[in-house]
Amino acid sequence: MEEILTIYIDMLDIFEVKGENAEAVMINFTGNCKSKYFNGNILPGGVDTQKEYYPQNRTLSARYMLEGVDDEGKPCRIFIENEATCNSRGKVDHTVPKIITDSKSLFWMQESYLKGIIEPKGEGCIIHIFKED
């Protein structure tokens, strides 16, 4: 596996609601990406939505868009939808990212099987996105 994107996330706001049989959390965030393929910043509107319908495991779905430059130095945008389900211990083993980009040199990311790992970091996290062979 090759790490293709490293995204540094900083949380902005957390909103939550708890009902009798379910709960939901929305986390607004910002951040940036540094990698050999893309460097740029998360545009306003990044959000991680977490839902849990008791007794099922919590699901996470983060959606955000980055603007920056690709590996050819050309301006581009990348949209990422990153989904996961917590395991029985309440932790995420890995995420399943999906990518849309207007970069010709990064188009391969749209057609690749990708896997993400979440690393805690202070008031946020680091998302490591890998391309599976």
Q: Tell me: the pLDDT tens digits for 87-109?
A: 877 788 889 999 999 999 999 99
- pTM score, whole prediction: 0.91
Supply the DSSP symbol for 21.
Answer: S
Higher pLDDT, residue 122 or 16: 16
Tell me the pLDDT tens digit for each residue of 59-86.
999 999 999 999 999 999 999 999 998 8
* Cβ neighbours of 130 (radius 10 Å): 18
Alpha helices in the chain, H assignment, sequence order: 108-111
Compute the distance between CA of residue 13 and CA of residue 57 in angstroms, rounded to an integer: 23
Domains of the chain, by residue range, sit at 2-131
77 and 109 Cβ atoms separated by less than 8 Å: no
Q: What does the block give as tokens for 131?
A: 């391309």
Compute the distance between CA of residue 98 and CA of residue 118 in angstroms, rounded to an integer: 15
Q: Look at residue 89 in the predicted model and tell me its pLDDT.
A: 77
Give the percent of the chain with pLDDT over 90. Answer: 85
The secondary element (H helix, E strand) that includes residue 112 is none
Domain 2-131 belongs to what topology?
Answer: Porin (2.40.160)
Flag whether pLDDT at 19 surpasses 90: yes
Give the percent of the chain with pLDDT over 70. Answer: 100
* CA proximity to 123, closest of 44, 7, 13: 13
